[in-house]
Amino acid sequence: MLAHEKKKKEVITINPIMIGIIGLAAGVLGTGAGGVITALTGKPSKKTLGFYLGFAGGIMLALVFAELIPEALEEGSLILTMFGLVLGVALLILLDIYLPHIHHGGNPDDEVQVNGRMTRMGYLLAFGIALHNFPEGIAIGAGFGADYTLGISLAIILALHNIPEGIAMAVPLWASGLGTKKVVLATLLAGVPVGIGAYLGSIISHISPVFLTLSLGFAAGAMLYISFDELLPEAHNHSEGSHYGIYGGVIGVLIGYILIALF
């Protein structure tokens, strides 16, 4: 029996503004935590970052296959679910083509020695991460539209996912000599679009079951793209021949299922 069949639907209702606030907290606390970690510990080793990225990818895949897709199928048809999934993937592809951001695999210390250029690199990463955070917010809003517990699970898991994103953008800013407060502030601001997306996603998903199914499928597609295009490949690249990325991915899947069972 699937996870969503074991749990009764929560009857808790929550207004879009509160959903936006929850999404904002998930985004800001996630990327902000990455900034704080970098400010306190300095640049993490490549293997450690590879583990973080694998963990984020694993936890997102667990959520997609154990919750989002089954929930979309329960709310609507297979065709609507797959159409929404394709839309989610397509939007992320367009963002990567027309508004690309630097992937985690770049090592600014090896490629750039001038502090000014490193600062620009950090802000470019912040801009790209902020854009890619918007669909994650829509996922949270759609989750709340389907089930309160699904929305909470999505908010927690996406907050964990955003920690490596915060580290990725904080590293070049920190290495450029930017003050600790400014580095942390930049990572906090990069999480704001999650709140905006959560607010809009909750409104769209409440229009009709069709929009809810499409929104859940869209969220699944966006998260699949992020996992397969960025997190898992970069986890492998950072592992430098070790299995740190694999360890992180497997542990992420396990933690993901535990969170789903708890919530």
What is the pLDDT, as a whole number, of residue 128?
Answer: 64
**Are the CB atoms for 240 and 46 separated by under 8 Å?**
yes
Cα diameter, the chain: 56
Q: At 107, is the secondary structure helix, strand, or coil?
A: coil
In angstroms, the CA 196 to CA 146 distance is: 18
pLDDT at 53: 77
**DSSP 8-state symbol, 7:** S
| Spatial contact of 27 and 137, defined as CB atoms under 8 Å apart | yes
Contact 161, 137 (CB under 8 A): no
71: tokens are 């929930």
Residue numbers of the chain with a pLDDT score lower than 70:
1-13, 43-44, 99-125, 127-128, 131-132, 168, 172, 175-177, 259-260, 263
The reported pLDDT for the residue numbered 105 is: 46
pTM of the model: 0.64
